[in-house]
Structure formats: structure tokens, C-alpha cells
Structure 1
Amino acid sequence: MRQPTETASPRLQRRLGLMDAVLIGLGSMIGAGIFAALAPAARAAGSGLLVALAVAAVVAYCNATSSARLAARYPASGGTYLYGRERLGDFWGYLAGWAFVTGKTASCAAMALTVGSYVWPEQAHAVAVAAVVALTVVNYAGIQKSAWLTRAIVAVVLAVLAAVVVAGLTSSAADPARLDVGPDASFGGVLQAAGLLFFAFAGYARIATLGEEVRDPARTIPRAIPLALGITLVVYAAVAVAVLAVLGPKGLADAAAPLSDAVRAAGADGLGPVVRAGAAVAALGSLLALILGVSRTTLAMARDRHLPHALSAVHPRFKVPHRAELAVGAVVAVVAATADVRGAIGFSSFGVLLYYAIANVSAWTLTPQEGRPARIVPLLGLVGCLILAFALPASSVIFGAAVLAVGAGVYSTRRALAARG
């Protein structure tokens, strides 16, 4: 196997401790999913929503374990782009990076539009662009400032979600019978819902892609990833139970703003504005962490000239990949200004599930001396990723496969031109 490679590009500074890494993962996972993915998942799974959540969590755990072991072995920016390149070859690393950058760019736009829809629905696109610009400026100013902002956002969102859970579970409108699995929970629907909910768990990738900026990464990353994932699962399960108990599967599936509808149905109308504000803050936290992760993968791909090499520059003062961050921010702003949020979750899930499929294959190749997890972990992760990816809505699968094919074509063309030159 290839050894960890060194590059001539300037290196990022290791400033993040365990708590910073955990909070960056929480800011992405909790912000991304709990306000965005519950309703479409309930539409697919019906009364099997909690089963779908458990399936998504198992696949996410396997992926997180594989990613943590690989990140400890290769503590540099890039995540599975780096792991695939080192363990499987340049093409597989490139394909993982392409899937991540394109899928997560769609996620960034979706989160920006979520901010706009809660803050000022009539001007959602304008607010989305403003949010992207503001958070790009924060990221440009340094990773430590981003970590402090994420810490504040996570605290606010957890407080709001705790209020939703208490309001739902203590309401007279709550009915435990609504949590039972009914005949509307088909096997295919549960798998599709699990694929959609996986979108909400994928934030732990941000910890791995920031590997070059984490102190003592061999120890910190394997601890931070399962911690962030475990906390997120507990929060998701509590919120899903509370909302289902109040609204029921059909009410949740039909809800435009599930958590707001749940507190209203629970008789806590005064919490409605708080929940809307919390949703906007959560989406901001997710957007902040997403831009961090996409820019670091862009940096790694630019270092290897799979993307323009100018994007590999590191700012001499702030020690961040400033050109990559500006480029990512510009692309996301354009998408947020023009795109519809519908379908973004499905497209993002497809790309990220294939990204983690490559991570699991990479982890399979580790030796016991390199910290390989138990064989069942990457195997179950790989099979789970592929099943959930192709259980997604057909439009997401077709569009996602087409985008990956374009990426593979770009790679092949660039290699052919290089061989001729």
C-alpha cells in the first residue's frame, strides 16, 4: 500500500481539540437533518420511521468507524478522497472526492435555502446567498473562529430541540400508539427513508476532512467521530419520538415545518417562533460546517491537480485554504440563488453514500497493525451504503449517477491529455 504522501503545499495548523472536533460534527449533523429530513423520510417509511432511523444509524456507525481508523492513519485534509487514493488508487480517491464535493455543494445550497425559508420566506434565495457570503467570511478568518461560532450554534439548537421534546412528550395530544409500526411501513419505504435520513448523519465527515487541523489526530479523531454520532443519534431519536407521538406518521409526512407543527399541536404555540429561529440557526451551523468540509476536500484535490492547483493556497496569516473557501462559497452562492431545495437531499445522499462505500473498501485494506476495524464493520458499511443509495428516489439515483459519470469522464480525459503531453 502507498504510504502517507507529503506535498510541497503549505500545511494547515493543528488548532482543534477533541471538543472542537465533536462540536463541528454536531453542528453539521444536527443542523442538517432534524429540520429537513424527517418529513420526507416519514413520507417514504410511514409508521416505519423509527426503524428507518435505526437502519441509517447502523450504516452511519460502520462508516464512522471506518472513517475514524483511516483518519488516524492519514491525518491530512481530504477525507475519503485521501483514503481512496492511498489505499485503492488515484481514480477511486478522485471519484470519492468528486462525489463529496458535488453532493455536499447541493447540501450547502439546501441548508442556505432552509435559512432563507425560515428567516424570510418571500426572499428565501436572497437570504440564502447572504448566509453563504457571511459564513464564507467567517471561515476565511480562521478555523478557530469557525469552531467558536459552531459551539454557540450547537448550544442554541440543542436547547430548542430539548424544548420540542419536552413539549411533545408532556402534551395531552401525545399518543404512544402512534409509535407502533403499522402495515404502511413497507420494506422498500423503510430503506428509502433510511437513505434520506443518512443525509442527516453524514456530518461526522467534517471531522475527518479537517484531519490536518486537529491536534493529536491519531487519538482525537477516533474519539470525536463516535462521540458526535452517538450524541446526534440520541437527539434524533428523542425528537422523532416526540414529533411522531403528537403528529403521527401521516401528520409528520404532510408537515411543511414538522417541529413547528408539532409544538403547535402540543398546545405550545409560544414555542413556534423559537422553533423557527432554532431551525434557521441550525441550518446556519450545518452550512458553516459543510463549507469547511467541502473547501478542505477541494484543497486536497487541488494539491494533486485534480482541481486547479491555485486552489491549494493556504493564507499566510489565517492558515486556511482561502482560495478554496472563496471558490466553494461562490459556487454555493450561485446554486442557492438559482436552485430549488427539492431533490437536494436525495442527490446529496446518493453522492455521500457512494463516498462512504469507497471509505469502507479503503478501511478493509488496512492491516491490524494499521488499526483495521473488525472485518464486519467495513463490510456491513459497504453493503449498507450501496443498498441505501439505490433505494433512494429514482430521480436522485439517475441524476447522481450522471454526475459521477461526468466526473469519471473528466478524470479519463485529463489522464489521456497528460499521457499525450
Structure 2
Amino acid sequence: MTQLARRLTTTDAVVVGLGSMIGAGVFAAFAPAARAVLPVGTGWALLVALGLAAAVAYANATSSAQLAAQYPVAGGTYVYGRERLGPWWGFVAGWGFVIGKTASCAAMALTFAAYAMPDGAPTVVRRGVAALAVVALTAVNCRGVTRTARVARWLVAFVLLALAVTLTVVWAGRDLVVEVASTGSAIGVLGVLQAAGLLFFAFAGYARVATLGEEVRRPRVAIPRAISVALGITVVVYAAVAVTLLVVLGLDGVAASGAPLAAAADGLWVAPLVRVAAAVASLGALLALVAGVGRTALAMAREGDLPRPLAAVHERFRVPHVAEVTLAAVVVALVATVDLRGAIGFSSFGVLVYYLVANLSAWTQTGGDRRYPRALQVFGVLGCAALAVTLPWTSVVGGAGVLAAGVALRALRGRRRG
């Protein structure tokens, strides 16, 4: 038996989505995005980039919700692409998701270790702590999806509370002298697009809700609602953080800091809280990522696009344990050998390709399955394409190369079968 059990409520699905989005991105993504718009010299550019990333994420979210309501099974856009556009489209979506989010898993683990360990800790110790985090959270996932959702609920509650306290204390304890609404220079289009592509990394967690489609109760109602609620809460939180960073540090200060929230709280009593919250948020994101990638791998293995043994489901806990353990082994290898500070761009490229296929798939839906206007899907396709091609060139070349390699290997396997 390979069918997953429906054990999650709508609230559980919202929490899994929040745990995926409000993770390390809120503590780390603003710095590279600020560097992308730094030549513009105004905080408006960063806020416009954040708004653009949120708008593209919303278009993608509506397409995902519409598709998930019609196809409430594990696999997300891998399944949607196969059903609506054909096997090759599904493979491109699934492969982009798997490679992008595998890199994200490693990035989350390394981010956790960076915040959890003292500044002077040796690199080998940090990598060891990151690997232990991967093993521990994979073990949690393998014990069942209800445990995953329960742990995610506590992690999200803590991070949201910590962020609320930190922002309140920073606003009360700092001299807020920077004008966010400076109009001293024009907004550069290329810089804004690149910053939006980098910030999109922090919004992409709602995909994990769709990949849990086979485990959510009343999925036709629960999944669209959970995606919309989780994304809405995340946009509000990110906007509050962005404005706070700009009025405290200014655009230059955000760009210069590897941990801008910690820099904004430096010298205040909440500074240690920021560090703890960042570590906990990274764990929450990693927990949801392992669950989401494991279920996409399960769906691809069912169709033969990945090795068949990855389709195994544990008899007792009803989770894709082979896929998750295999993913954990790959991620441990990455955190032990690779510096993934540039993984945000690579991950964004793969996930933007994934959502481009989602928007194209949703465009083909008709009748009662259509919940949103096609204009949103057009905007989603154009937005995903624009953000993907304007990412740092190393991310574009690397992402395109790995995608092409996957397509070539699938074609070769098809010829051998023939």
C-alpha cells in the first residue's frame, strides 16, 4: 500500500506553510536583496522589490490552490504539469523543485548552525551541527506527518512572537532617523527584478501546502484557504521587517550586514532573542522542506521519473521514509562539503521554473475547476520568467545546467526503455 493518510487539518496546513516561509529568509534574504538595489540608493527600491516578489508569489499561490483543489494528491506541480500539459512538463517542474529545495535544505541547515554556534566556532563544527540538524528533523518527519505539523506549530508560534517582540523593542529603543521614502534617485528596473528574485526565495514555502494534498482533510477547501492565509500572514510580517530594517539601518546598513535583524537589535536586550529566533526559524523551514521534497520525490518515483524505491511508504507512519532518508543523505553531504551562501539564487531559479509550469497548468483549467481569472496566470508566467532570468548569472547558468542535465538523463532512460 502506497497511499498516504489524511490526518492534517486546515490549521495544520497553514502552519506548515508558515513554517516554510517564515524561516531563515526573514533573517538573511534582505541583505543580498539590498545589495542588488544598492546602486539606486533609496529604500523605496527594496520595498518595491518586496512588493513585486509578493505579487508574483500571490499569482503562483492562486494557481497552486486552484490546481491542488482539482488534484488533491502528493507531488504538487509535478502532478499538475503531467495532468494538464504532459509528462515532460511535469518532469521539468518536479526536477526544478527537487534540486532547488535540496539546496534550500542545506542552506537552512547551515543557517541554523551559523546562528546556533558562537561566532568563533570552527567551520567543521558548524557543518557538523548542520548535519545533526538534518538527521534529527528527518527522524521527526519519518515518525509521521502529524508530528511534523505539531512541531512546526510550536516553531512558528515562537518565531512570530520573537519577531513581534524584537520589532517592538527596536522601534522603541532606537533613534529612527532614516527616511524610507527617500526619492533622491530613480528605481533601477534590473536591480529591483534581481532583488525580487532573491526575496522570492523567502516566499516560496506555500508549495509545501500543495505537496501535502494527499494528507489534508477536505483538500478542495482546505488547501486553497491554507495557501492564501499563510501567504497573507507572511507578506505582513516581511513588510514590517523590511520597513524596520530600513528606518534603523538604512539601505547601506542592510546591504552591509550578513544578519541585518541582529544588527538592528545590537545593544538591546532582544539581541540574543533574534539569534535564537533565527536558529529556530531555520529548523522550522528545514522541517517543512524535508517533508515537501520527500513527497515530490515520492510522486516522481511513482511515475518512474526517479528510482522506484523512493515511492515506498512506511506501513505504520504512512510517510515516504525512503525518499526522506535519501534526501537527508544528500543534504548531509552538501553541508559537509559545499559553501551554500549563494544557494538562495540557485534555489530561486529552480522554484521559479516550478511555478512557471504551475501557472501554465492552471491556465488550461476550465469550468468548475477555475477559481481565479486567467490574468493572474499570465502575470505569474511573465513574473516567474522575468525574475528567473534576472537572477545573478551564476544562479541562472547553474540552474539551467542542472535542469538540462536532468532532462537529458530522462531522455536517455526513455531511449533505453524503448
Same fold (TM over 0.5): yes
Mean alpha-carbon deviation: is it higher for 14-23 or for 183-192? 183-192
TM-score normalised according to structure 1 size: 0.95
Q: 1:305 to 1:181 in 2, by over 3 A?
A: farther
Aligned partners of 1:84 and 1:96 also within 8 Å: yes
Contact 1:136 1:329 in 2 (8 A): yes
Instruction: Kindly indicate whether the alpha-carbon contact (under 8 Å) linking 1:169 and 1:245 is maintained by their aligned counterparts in 2.
Output: no
Aligned pair 1:155/2:154, yes or no?
Answer: no
Shift of 1:178: 3.4
Q: Does the CA contact (< 8 Å) of 2:245 and 2:254 recur in 1?
A: yes
Distance in 1 separating the partners of 2:183 and 2:257? 20
SS at structure 2 position matched to 1:349: helix
Partner of 1:393: 392
Q: Which residue of 1 aligns with 2:177?
A: 175
What is the identity percentage for the equivalent residue pairs of Structure 1 and Structure 2? 57
The residue matched to 1:35 in structure 2 has which SS? helix
Q: Distance in 2 between matches of 1:294 and 1:182?
A: 44
Q: Which residue of 1 aligns with 2:137?
A: 135
1:77 aligned partner: 74
Return the match for 2:12 from 7, 20, 26. Answer: 20
Distance 1:411 1:287 in 2: 28
Counting only pairs closer than 5 Å after superposition, residues 143-292 of structure 1 correspond to structure 2 as 143-183=145-185, 185-264=187-266, 267-268=267-268, 270-292=269-291
Corresponding residue of 1:30: 22
Deviations 1:261-318 (A, max 9, x none): 0011xx51x2111110110000000000000100000000010111111111111110
| Structure 2 SS opposite 1:315 | coil
* Selected match of 2:96 from 81, 94, 99: 99
Q: Using the TM superposition, give the Cα deviation of residue 341 of structure 1 relative to its aligned residue in structure 2, in angstroms.
A: 2.1
Q: 1:181 to 1:56 in 2, by over 3 A?
A: farther
Paired residues in the alignment total 408
Q: Check if 1:346 corresponds to 2:349.
A: no
Residue 356 of structure 2: aligned partner: 357
Quote the RMSD (CA, aligned, Å): 1.1
Structure 1 residue ranges, 4+ long, deviating more than 3 angstroms after superposition: none
| Paired position in structure 1 for 2:112 | 115
CA contact (8 A) 1:32 1:199 kept: no
* Change over 3 Å in CA distance of 1:176–1:251 after alignment to 2: closer
User: 5 Å matches for 1:368-387?
Assistant: 368-387=367-386
Q: List gaps (5 residues or longer) in structure 1.
A: 1-8
Task: Describe the shift of the 1:105–1:366 C-alpha distance in structure 2 as closer, same or farther (beyond 3 A).
Answer: same
Partners in 1 of 2:168 and 2:405 — Cα distance? 48
Deviations 1:21-59 (A, max 9, x none): 000000010014101201000111232111100000000
Letter in 2 for 1:158: L
Q: Alpha-carbon deviations, 1:296-352, whole Å to 9, x = none?
A: 000000101111111111111101111111111111111111111221000000000
SS in 2 for 1:52: helix
Structure 2 length normalisation: TM-score? 0.96
- The DSSP-based 3-state class of the residue aligned with 2:340 is coil
1:25–1:228 CA contact under 8 A, matched in 2: yes
Give the equivalent residue in structure 1 for 2:33.
41
How does 1:310-349 map onto structure 2 within 5 Å?
310-349=309-348
Displacement of 1:181 in angstroms is 4.8
After superposition, what is the alpha-carbon deviation per residue over 1:182-212, rounded to whole angstroms, capped at 9, x for unaligned? 4274111111000000000000000000100
